[in-house]
């Protein structure tokens, strides 16, 4: 009794393995791009918050200086 698995040749097996590798690499690049975009957005928001805090501090100092 020959089963289909035992007659599975090296070329179809290699094609199947190659397909899995290509799919894994493609998924890796898609996920990496998404993570990178999320990181860039978080960094931008953090920098914006920092600049806003610096601006508020300087504005408060100027107001205090002008009020004598």
Q: What tens digit of pLDDT does each residue of 27-40 get?
A: 888 888 888 888 89
**Residue 9 CA: distances (Å) to CA of 1, 15, 24, 46:** 17, 10, 23, 55
pLDDT given at position 46: 96
Is it the case that residue 2 has pLDDT exceeding 60? Answer: no
Q: For tokens 């179809």, what's the residue?
A: 12
pTM of the model: 0.50
């Amino acid at each position: 009794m020959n089963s289909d698995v035992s007659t599975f040749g090296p070329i179809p097996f290699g094609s199947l393995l190659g397909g899995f590798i290509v799919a894994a690499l493609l998924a890796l690049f898609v996920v990496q791009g998404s993570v990178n975009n999320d990181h860039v957005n978080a960094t931008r928001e953090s920098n914006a918050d920092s600049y806003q805090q610096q601006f508020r501090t300087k504005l408060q100092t100027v107001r205090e200086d002008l009020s004598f």
